[in-house]
Every structure is written in C-alpha cells, then in structure tokens.
Structure 1
Amino acid sequence: MVLISILAGSKSDEGVYQKAVDVLNKEDIPFELKILSAHRNPIELDEYVKNSKANVFICVAGLSAALPGVVASKTQKPVIGVPVSAKLGGLDALLSIVQMPPGVPVACVGIDSAKNAALLAIRILKAK
C-alpha cells in the first residue's frame, strides 16, 4: 500500500527528491516515486493522479514549477510542493508554487527542502 507519492518533473531533480526518499525509507513509510512532467507528460500525469492510491503527493519542481499546482487541480488529496533551485536560486519555482489560485491549495516547503516535505507528509498521515 502506497501512502505517499513523490512526483518529480525531471530526473535532474534527483539531488532534491532523494532527500524525501531517504526520510521515507528511514521511517519505513510506503511510497512510490514517479518522474512525470506537467509539460512533457500531461496525459500520463493525469492518469497517474486519478488512479493513485497515495494519501499525500510530494511534487518536486523547478523553473515554472507547474507540477504541484497541476496535481492539486486534479485531486482533493494534500499536495506539498518542493521548489528546486534550478534557476534564480529557486525563487522562480518558490513563487510559482505559493501563488496558487483560489481553490487549488498547495503546501510549500523551502527551496530544495524535500526532507521537510517528507516530514510534513508524515505529519499529515498521522493526523488522520
């Protein structure tokens, strides 16, 4: 049973999402990791989110950082965005994630802070 889904827009984000993987492995939390870009794999992403049994999504994204918002628009489950410091020190990604429109909530942790995203996801699971 998968409790948390980690989604990354690109394999190049591995240095960031690996921090969440490490926390979830250490805490023995069932998760799965998928590389799905909101821009390059929109149909596959839509199908994945619609069919996922995960209770929480962690979305790691840089640059335009569309992934967390797109995922949040397709589910009622909690979504945590992790901005990646790909350009502009990650400020572009951070602002993209925190500026979601009304009705599309996304929690956001610090730039490159996938460890905190995993810890927040665990707290969300424990709150149920």
Structure 2
Amino acid sequence: MITNTSGALLTVRKKGSIYYMMAGGKIEKEETPLEALIRELHEELGLVIAPSTVTYLGIHQTQAVNEANTWVHATIFHLILPETPIVPHAELEEVKWLTYENYQQVPLAHLLEEFTLPLWLKNKKSQ
C-alpha cells in the first residue's frame, strides 16, 4: 500500500489488464517479502526505498484477477511517498493515484479491494 502525503493511494495497471492493483510482485528464490518489495518497486516504478521507511501491515490470500485458477499469497506493507510524479516501468502500463472521491470508479484487483481498501478508508475516517 503506497500512499502520498495527501493520503492518495497509488495503484498500477499491467499491460493488457483492466484492473488496478498495488505495486509489487513475486518473491524470488531466497528473497524475503521486504526484499522482494524493494526490488519490485525499483523495477516497476524506479523507486529506491530504504527498508526503514516501510511498515508491515499483514498477509492476505485471494484469487488473482489476471491469471485463471491462481491464488495470490501476499505480504502487504505500507510506504508513504512525497507527492512526486511516478512513472510506470517493466510490465506496467499505467499508474493511477486514487482519492477518496474517485476510487469507486476504478476496477480494482481482489487483493487491493479486500485488504488494502478497507485499511485506507479507515485511515480517512480517523483523520
């Protein structure tokens, strides 16, 4: 879950998909979930982040939206970024910042919708 200092939620869309999801990806052999996150954010978005800037949120399993008969087993972290432009790389086609006003108009992947969105909306209520 990547948010900016205004509270917007970063989502990405892979090439050929209609669904927006969290940035990240598969863990490679001998990687920890945090190491995979740092690598994936660099590959997908060109971000260089320090492990100390990331907060663990939890784990969640759900069905993948882009791969039939596939389950996503995710470890989810939170990262807050300054408000700077983010450019998609690798297999990503688009980056979209969701706001509390526009998130309902965007088709979301299951993981984002089931785990991250409720946390993000809860943060808005506590502001």
Select the structure with the greater relative contact order (CA < 8 A; seq sep ≥ 6). Answer: 2
> What TM-score results when the alignment is normalised by the length of structure 2?
0.34
Structure with the larger helix share: 1
Structure with the larger strand share: 2
> What TM-score results when the alignment is normalised by the length of structure 1?
0.34
